[in-house]
Amino acid sequence: MGENNPPEVPATSQVPWPRLPVVLLSGSGLEKDVEEAYRLGANSYFQKPHSVADLKSMLRLLTEYWTTTKRPSRRRSTQPAR
């Protein structure tokens, strides 16, 4: 991803808090970079806005989204039901 300083997206199993979303904010809007981020485990990918005001607005929306999204309270078992 990107040629100057590629971001690293940790695999879900490597994240200390697996329920914490991996949100990538990048200067690149190239489709190959977006696809690579999701392939590596990102939950969201956003292209950096051009102004500080737009960045603040984006961060407010992201915070609201991730703090109001409903998720199961515990991990589901990977064992098949018997």
- Residue 73 within any structural domain of the chain: no
Q: In the chain, what is the straight-line distance between the N-terminal and C-terminal CA atoms, in Å? A: 43
Q: How many domains does the chain have?
A: 1
pLDDT of residue 2: 47
pLDDT (tens digit per residue) in 19-74: 677 888 899 999 999 999 998 888 889 999 999 999 999 999 988 988 888 877 76
Q: Residue 12: is its pLDDT beyond 80?
A: no
The Cα 77–Cα 10 span in angstroms is 22
- Residue 77 within any structural domain of the chain: no
Domain of residue 22 covers: 12-68
- Residue 37 within any structural domain of the chain: yes
CB-side neighbour CA atoms (13 Å) of 50: 1
- Three-state secondary-structure class, residue 24: strand
Between the CA of residue 35 and those of 6, 7, 14, 40, 51, what are the distances in Å?
13, 13, 20, 9, 25
| CATH number of 21's domain | 3.40.50.2300
